Amino acid sequence: MKYVVGYRPDERGADAVALAAVIAKTQGAGLHLVNVVHERTEADAHVEKAALALVPDGIAASYSTLAAESFVRGLIETAREENATLIVVGAASNGLFKRFTVGSVANGLLHASPVPVALAPRGYNRRDPLTRLTVMTGVREGWQAVLDVGTTAAGRRHVPLRLVSLVEIDQLDQKEFELDNALSPARQHVNTVLAEAAARLPDNKVTVTLAHGRNTEEAVDGIGWKSGELVVVGSSRLAENHKIFLGSTASKILRALPVPMVVVPRDFVAPGI
């Protein structure tokens, strides 16, 4: 298993390496750090040394400089050539609460990548392994691929899996859609997904949360987060098969998250992350 890491000699590059290393721990996954430039320079030897120095001991890593017009295209081409299962990049954040704002590279990947993309918030410097995976699951087409990736990743890492379904109260007709109603669409979907995940993982490793708020941001804020957590979300139904397209709900989740996020392409089928 290999992860392609979009590296630049700046804070975002360091964030990406840190997140890639955390996800790779206990997986035997190797990292390929790729610095996409318009043209090579003699200074690249120093950049390589600094980049590899960021990788913790015990994780195999390689480095390459790729001359290309587009950072995004360079990472995608490398991922295809390496049969990588994940692309990891740093994403900017805004304000005091570690919220994401998506830069041009991350935005490009989130609309074109054929493999999952992991986004590291600014200042991400965790060194310990992941402690929990959270899968954001909705009722729209594509949730199965997200559940598969999350369940497989949690099972291999022996960490708990949390399944979260978001409900925006303002979007509901309360008479027809009560959160505590066992027959409500959201509750039925959560129970279906929970049953499927529980069949693949030990019972005590799967929990479910029906998060709700006046909007997506409020719902995300209200469910609690751990520092060693990783969130997995799916692509919009507008995405081409096996490609990512970040939909409006996923974009809102991203802006509200205080932890890293992985976006899974539509109909993605692979060993996981």
The percent of residues in the chain predicted with pLDDT above 70, rounded, is 75
Find the mean pLDDT for residues 217-231. Answer: 87
Q: Give the Cα separation of 264 and 114 in Å (integer).
A: 9
Find the mean pLDDT for residues 132-159. Answer: 81
211, 135 contact by CB (below 8 A)? no
Query: From its phi and psi, is residue 54 left (phi > 0), alpha (psi between -120 and 50) or beta?
Result: alpha
Q: Give the Cα separation of 77 and 75 in Å (integer).
A: 6
Confidence of residue 92 (pLDDT cuts 50, 70, 90): low
Confidence of residue 122 (pLDDT cuts 50, 70, 90): confident
* Predicted local confidence at residue 202, as pLDDT: 67
pLDDT in tens, 160-190: 999 887 765 544 444 444 545 555 666 666 6
220, 261 contact by CB (below 8 A)? no
- Residue 95: pLDDT over 50: no
Look-up: residue for tokens 């721990």? 25
- CB count, 10 Å around CB of 210? 19
Max mean pLDDT among 30-34, 95-99, 215-219 falls in 30-34
* Predicted local confidence at residue 16, as pLDDT: 96
